[in-house]
Structure 1
Amino acid sequence: MSSTPSTATSDAVVDSEIAIEQAHVDRVYGELGKAGERAGLVAADGLARGRTDRTGDIRDEEITGLFERDALVFNAARRQAALDTQYEGLVFGRLDIAHPTLGRGAQDGPDWWRGREREVRYIGRLGVRDEDYEPLVIDWRAPAAAAFYRATPVVPHDVIRRRVLRSQGTTVVGIEDDLMVAEAPDDLVIIGDGALMAALTRSRGAQMRDIVATIQQHQDEAIRAPSRGVTEITGGPGTGKTVVALHRAAYLLYSERRRFEGGGILVVGPSTAYTAYIERVLPSLGEESVTLRSVGDLVDAVSATRLDRPEVAAVKGSLRIRNLLGRAASAAVPGGPDSFRAFVGGQAISLGPEVLAGVRGRALRGHARNLAVDAARNLLAEAGWASHRTGQRADFLEAFEQSLAVDEFMAQWWPQLDPREILLWLTDTDLTYRLGRGALTDDECAAVAMSMREALESGEWSVADAALIDELAVRLGPVKDDRDEERGFYEIDELDSLSAGEFRELGNPYAAPAAAGQRAGTPRELLLRGRIGEPGDYAHILIDEAQDLSPMQWRMVGRRGEWASWTVVGDAAQASWDHPAEAARAREAAFGSALRRHFHMATNYRNAREIFDYARDVILPVLPDADIPVAVRETGVSPVEASLDPDPVAAVQAALDALGREVDGSIAVITPIRYADRLAPLRGRLDGRVQVLDPLSVKGLEFDATVVVDPEAIAAESPGGIRVLYVALTRAAHRMTVLRPA
């Protein structure tokens, strides 16, 4: 036996090892093809079971046949979809294991593997067995695969060699080995310098790559942590927090599928750019049953990407705004009737503003507004009777209930309200002053009113507005639709697509026609499109960039996880929310008394050391206690600094041309708002490799190279100041250019 591992350098040896692995991979794909054929046969059998020629009444056994058909076809289609998505890199790992034998169980000494029975175990994205039910590939989430991630030379877990296979489609194109022993068997060939560093040098694409083949031991511990309670994953930029969390979601679905697939897993990210970036990771790991939303997309029928100015976002995110929203939810409808006059049962009834205000206050005690309409009508009837007291009370109340005049009044005085309409009331600055008095300053009230006018002009809600809409939805309750029982199947979809204003117009024959500015296609119609549904309750919630959530956003997320377990990912040094203590209180309220566990990631795998040192020198003077990871990779190339003058577009284009020659993958131009419009046409340059993004939209993203435009302006314009600039400076893996005004 040799005293040192044999490291293969000859192309012939490498090709021979690749051929060995290719033979096994070919066998796996052969079995995968057979599995696909079996899934097709199951689907055909399911369709046959449910076939019937009867056109009249269907017997119970035929209903059972239809049910069996649907179940078989559904499961066959699901299995086929799983098989179809696994063709890229299905088999990515191999373990050479030495099993303990009697009297030889300890792993002592450099040759602990001697005398042990050896096994080869392949690891992949999906478990595959042959016709004799022998495993050809073990699912990476299975306990038998854990050693692939946890084995180290110190604690080898019976592993002699760990091999990572790199594939293109069904073809093995490269292998990298990690040796867990000091003295290896002569028949084991060791290829390359280690799988992790090889993976780190590869180019990034437009979407995040999973790290399933290169998960490290400390990451695997977080991925496989118990599901209950709150699992917090912290660490500085580039430490793999996001991909660890996503792999954890896939692991939870595998290990406790009934619980998490039934209850659902919600993944919340900071932006739509982020969700687009990560959307392929979970399917590539064999999981499709996860809901992926940005913070601006959490509320049904609301998809917000617009960002408020920092000072406005600070007001909307603070818990102080709840007082304004609570008052708005119970206020009289602007422009609605302030008195009630009608003939009821032959009697003239007149109720003034004070009486109506009293009725409204009593009706709302313990009731959500949209659900209190019956209580309000009953109290209004009692007030009408108390104002006259002529005749029999029962006769009067019955006449009141049947009165068309009362119907028309109620439709205008107590309409069913969409929470988004309440926010549009706040376009009136004077009303906002009245509702916000004592909770917000006059300047803050004016800023909120102006932001709502901006929404009405643009037809776009802001990301911060989503949490306000959700808060109001709870206070108002769902829009009550008494006509549901009368609607046909096809009418339901059509009516559910209407705005709340259109719904009330159709449902109330006494309502005035909508104003021209409220017709479909106007900004107002865009803001009110669709229906606000129930928030939903998930079994597990995963939040990335959690340090950015405002207190109001924590309340919004918390409503979706009352009984959930949590995975929370963040780094305080990268926060764009500037009031961490208030956010922490809201976060703890969302978690409740659940058990907490914490995992810390301390190694920066993304940034070359030269790039991260540049970013570190920016953040430490401002935040001395920032969580600074250790960068493990060097390129020998320092970030380039250049002038943005005299033509910013030309300067950025020159930087892109230079970077395009140095890297093969993605390049991002990270720009403050002041340059965004001028630099937008650069998007898609270099054969589609270039993106132009604002600093907040790059949260959670990474690129091969970046051009950071006017870093001082980025800090000045961003709610998190230098912390947001720190984010921008840590997005590049290999190259970074920083452009400053002269």
Structure 2
Amino acid sequence: MPTPTADPTTTRPEDVLADEQAHLERARDELRRMREAAENLDASTAADAFNAAYLDLVLARRVASLQDDPRTTLFFGRIDCRTEHGAEVFHVGRRHVSDGRGDPVVVDWRAPVSTAFYRASPTEPMGVTLRRRFGVDRGRLTAYEDERLDRAGSPEDDPAHSAILAAEIERPRSGPMRDIVSTIQPEQDEIVRSDIGTSICVQGAPGTGKTAVGLHRAAWLLYSFRERLDRSGVLVVGPNRAFLDHIGAVLPSLGEVRVQHATIDTLLEHGRVRAEDTTEVAMLKGDARLAEVLRNAVWLSVGRPDEAMVVPRGSRRWRVPAYDVQDEVDALVRRGVRYSAARDLLPQRLAHLVMLRIEATGDFPGDAAQDAIARSAPVKAYAKELWPALDPAGVLFRLLSDPETLAAAAEDVLDDNEQRMLLWGSPPRTKGAARWTRADMALLDELADLLDRTPSLGHVVLDEAQDLSPMQLRAVGRRASTGSLTVLGDIAQGTTPWATGSWDDAMAHLGRPRHELVTLDRGFRVPARVIEFAARLLPVMAPGLGAPRSVRDNPGRLDVVSADPEERSSAVVAAVTGALREPGSVGVIAPDAFMTALSAALTRAGVPHGRLDADHGDDEDRQVELVPASIAKGLEFDRVVVVEPAAVVAAEPDLRTGLRRLYVVLTRAVTALTVVHTEPLPEVLAGHA
């Protein structure tokens, strides 16, 4: 059991810090012992080569998880508790560390006992008498902050006014997103620790930490249900590669490396995208009604027998009437199994009809005879003609190139004009020459599932879900058909023409009409001045949606710089140079068309920078990143320079979508925002800088 320590209220602060540093050194020693013990285990003692290889992999993973990072500490907090065993102390960190007897030296933040560190309060202390947070600098404890929960609260005991908490939230960042285990708030922790059987939808305003909450939920589930999820898997789906690169370090920092990551495009990669639909056609292809059209197209491929099936066996020919065959076909269709599975069953069902006739003569040849009949050439040929083999590309090719096929599949589903919109104007000669679009990928995925069931994962985390079409949502949902979902998004940040306006609708498309909806509106990342400026867009772009509330003491900084058109690049360079006077990351977010010109201006000024647009992105992290407005969603930087808001809006197909894109762009800053413009600001922002 943990060892009680002296009452911190009767000990000098410098002595308390020295004691805690000594405990940290002890924890590091124990972690080193655990790692050395794992390194000394011999995989060659396994029963066979296969098990030896598997054990070697497990041991390598175990050793990697026991590495100590000298840049940080093994624990970030502590709780003193009253339990049935008396007074106990628990140090809370990113992983569990035990001593040689198996007693905890550090408890994992995901362990049940750690719940109280995040949720205990003076009104509900959960047995906690004291909560302590630590300040850290380069692997050493530099400060501590105590909150007494066994007495009436005072301002200094309010966790919302924790200086250490605020410093950690606002600590300058570089490179990818980091974990938030030391700053998780009670409402976030409730989401993180929700049961695996619960599918959760999180409506989260900018800066509320919804992405981090989703990732930490994945880590908690893997800790709490490891055996189950090791078998079934966990998947994180994000909007683009830049986003996945940004969040990619979070789960490994928490010791979880077995989580798959995918964008919606890589998840639905059923062919090469070689063309682009108009907005109207893309919206139609994303409509959930297309699922019914595709289902009809598949099952209309099943033929109707117009001739009896004749099967020679020995000296006799057995005849099965067409109406008996049709009964079997109808029964298979009604079973609700996938098309290919039913097709595989058909020869056996036809052979069974032959067996009934054989047995009616008093002969009982046995099961082997039925298998032989099912494999016979006449039965296989009859079944193939009746129930042809299909592939997703072939079905969609025929549907989009043949008006009669589409009309039959879309009857009473799509009107004549909608059918004309879907048809190719000049159909390719073969499916191999088809110029598939991005929207076609979701249709091909739907068809693939109609033919063969998509394997289900144990849990899927879907971020920026508001931007997916109903058909894309269906594709994600089927990958958790027997598992659960954590769905993250913000309706106000919907920037696609098909962006959802209702989480109930989105969750229904995901196959989760029954779900738990949670709203996060307390902003920890975006400072008050920035969020108040951006929130002026809400009444125009998302009427009725409440504005987020920044709960940080530091209001942040907002500068709006007006420049002459010929001075725009130099004004941007000046803003970036000013931002570089402080530590931390700098994001320059501009309309996609501005990337090359701004990059050239920064290069001429001698400002090293990276580019996150598709043609120039790389894996190297830089202090300054040039970010196209179209992929800024989900990213965050200490300081952000937004270039030409009016052009960000104008680049979108309509004003509402453009204002939503601008809202996303304006809310990427953690500390300071500078807006550089030569064109007039959108009317709702003008005069409020």
TM-score tier (shorter): 0.7 to 0.9
The equivalent of 2:661 in structure 1 is 724
| 1:666-705 deviations in Å (ceiling 9; x for gaps) | 3142425x44565566699447333344444222221222
Q: Which amino acid aligns with 1:707?
A: V
CA distance in 2, matches of 1:417, 1:203: 55
The equivalent of 1:180 in structure 2 is 148
Instruction: Give runs of aligned pairs for residues 29-428 of structure 1, distance below 5 A.
Output: 29-42=28-41, 44=42, 46-47=43-44, 49-50=45-46, 64-66=47-49, 69-70=52-53, 72-84=55-67, 89-95=72-78, 97=80, 99=82, 119-156=88-125, 157-168=127-138, 171-172=139-140, 174-180=142-148, 194-299=163-268, 310-322=279-291, 324-326=293-295, 329=298, 417-423=390-396, 428=401
- What's the offset of the Cα at 1:221? 2.0
- What's the offset of the Cα at 1:178? 4.0
The equivalent of 2:633 in structure 1 is 699
CA distance in 2, matches of 1:307, 1:676: 22
Would the alpha carbon gap of residues 223 and 303 (structure 1) be closer, same or farther in structure 2, given more than 3 Å must change? farther
CA distance in 2, matches of 1:196, 1:376: 65
The equivalent of 1:558 in structure 2 is 477
The equivalent of 1:620 in structure 2 is 539
Q: What is the percent sequence identity of the aligned residues? A: 32
CA distance in 2, matches of 1:164, 1:465: 52
- What's the offset of the Cα at 1:476? 3.6
The equivalent of 1:471 in structure 2 is 446
CA distance in 2, matches of 1:458, 1:277: 36
Q: Which amino acid aligns with 1:89?
A: T
- What's the offset of the Cα at 1:212? 0.2
Q: For structure 1, which segment, 310-319 or 31-40, has the greater mean C-alpha deviation from structure 2 after superposition?
A: 310-319
> Match for 1:547 among 450, 466, 485?
466
> Match for 1:571 among 484, 490, 500?
490
The equivalent of 1:512 in structure 2 is none
- What's the offset of the Cα at 1:545? 2.2
**Conserved 8 A contact 1:575-1:720:** yes
**Conserved 8 A contact 2:169-2:525:** yes
Q: Which runs of 5+ in 1 are unaligned?
A: 51-63, 103-116, 333-344, 346-357, 380-397, 478-533
Q: Which amino acid aligns with 1:661?
A: R
- What's the offset of the Cα at 1:198? 0.6
| 1:283-335 deviations in Å (ceiling 9; x for gaps) | 21122232222222224666989986644432222123335544655789xxx
- What's the offset of the Cα at 1:224? 1.9
CA distance in 1, matches of 2:59, 2:536: 55
Q: Which amino acid aligns with 1:640?
A: V
CA distance in 2, matches of 1:276, 1:651: 29
- What's the offset of the Cα at 1:470? 1.0
- What's the offset of the Cα at 1:372? 7.4
- What's the offset of the Cα at 1:210? 0.8
Would the alpha carbon gap of residues 310 and 678 (structure 1) be closer, same or farther in structure 2, given more than 3 Å must change? farther
The answer to whether structure 1 residue 600 and structure 2 residue 600 are counterparts is no
Q: Which amino acid aligns with 1:560?
A: R
- What's the offset of the Cα at 1:588? 2.3
Q: Which runs of 5+ in 2 are unaligned?
A: 1-7, 302-311, 313-325, 350-372, 611-621, 680-689
Q: What SS does the corresponding residue of 2:261 show, helix, strand or coil?
A: strand
The equivalent of 1:671 in structure 2 is 591
Q: What SS does the corresponding residue of 1:92 show, helix, strand or coil?
A: coil
The equivalent of 2:309 in structure 1 is none
- What's the offset of the Cα at 1:238? 0.8
- What's the offset of the Cα at 1:141? 0.9
**Conserved 8 A contact 1:164-1:213:** no
CA distance in 1, matches of 2:566, 2:218: 49
**Conserved 8 A contact 1:204-1:666:** no
Would the alpha carbon gap of residues 465 and 733 (structure 1) be closer, same or farther in structure 2, given more than 3 Å must change? farther
Q: Which amino acid aligns with 1:725?
A: L
- What's the offset of the Cα at 1:463? 4.8
| 1:453-486 deviations in Å (ceiling 9; x for gaps) | 99x9999965543321211112344xxxxxxxxx
The equivalent of 2:357 in structure 1 is none
Would the alpha carbon gap of residues 17 and 264 (structure 1) be closer, same or farther in structure 2, given more than 3 Å must change? same
- Count of equivalent residues: 601
- What's the offset of the Cα at 1:272? 2.3
Q: What SS does the corresponding residue of 2:194 show, helix, strand or coil?
A: coil
**Conserved 8 A contact 1:159-1:180:** yes
**Conserved 8 A contact 1:125-1:140:** yes
| 1:534-566 deviations in Å (ceiling 9; x for gaps) | 632122222222222321122112212222233
Q: TM-score, normalised by structure 2?
A: 0.72
CA distance in 1, matches of 2:35, 2:654: 54
The equivalent of 1:341 in structure 2 is none
The equivalent of 2:355 in structure 1 is none
- What's the offset of the Cα at 1:613? 0.7
- What's the offset of the Cα at 1:713? 1.6
Would the alpha carbon gap of residues 40 and 431 (structure 1) be closer, same or farther in structure 2, given more than 3 Å must change? farther
The equivalent of 2:618 in structure 1 is none
Would the alpha carbon gap of residues 100 and 289 (structure 1) be closer, same or farther in structure 2, given more than 3 Å must change? closer
**Conserved 8 A contact 2:204-2:490:** yes
CA distance in 1, matches of 2:572, 2:424: 34
The equivalent of 1:342 in structure 2 is none
CA distance in 1, matches of 2:10, 2:591: 50
> Match for 2:565 among 645, 655, 668?
645
**Conserved 8 A contact 1:644-1:652:** no
CA distance in 1, matches of 2:232, 2:240: 24
| 1:43-72 deviations in Å (ceiling 9; x for gaps) | x2x21x25xxxxxxxxxxxxx444653454
Would the alpha carbon gap of residues 98 and 294 (structure 1) be closer, same or farther in structure 2, given more than 3 Å must change? same
Would the alpha carbon gap of residues 680 and 417 (structure 1) be closer, same or farther in structure 2, given more than 3 Å must change? farther
What is the root-mean-square deviation in Å for CA atoms of aligned residues? Answer: 5.0
Q: What SS does the corresponding residue of 1:163 show, helix, strand or coil?
A: strand
Q: What SS does the corresponding residue of 1:547 show, helix, strand or coil?
A: helix
**Conserved 8 A contact 1:310-1:719:** no
| 1:15-70 deviations in Å (ceiling 9; x for gaps) | x765544332222222222222211221x2x21x25xxxxxxxxxxxxx4446534
CA distance in 1, matches of 2:570, 2:539: 32
Would the alpha carbon gap of residues 175 and 260 (structure 1) be closer, same or farther in structure 2, given more than 3 Å must change? farther
Q: TM-score, normalised by structure 1?
A: 0.68
The equivalent of 2:25 in structure 1 is 26
- What's the offset of the Cα at 1:628? 1.7
Would the alpha carbon gap of residues 100 and 442 (structure 1) be closer, same or farther in structure 2, given more than 3 Å must change? closer
Q: Which amino acid aligns with 1:564?
A: G
CA distance in 2, matches of 1:7, 1:676: 58
CA distance in 2, matches of 1:419, 1:620: 44
CA distance in 2, matches of 1:230, 1:602: 20
| 1:123-164 deviations in Å (ceiling 9; x for gaps) | 111111112323211111112222221233444442324122
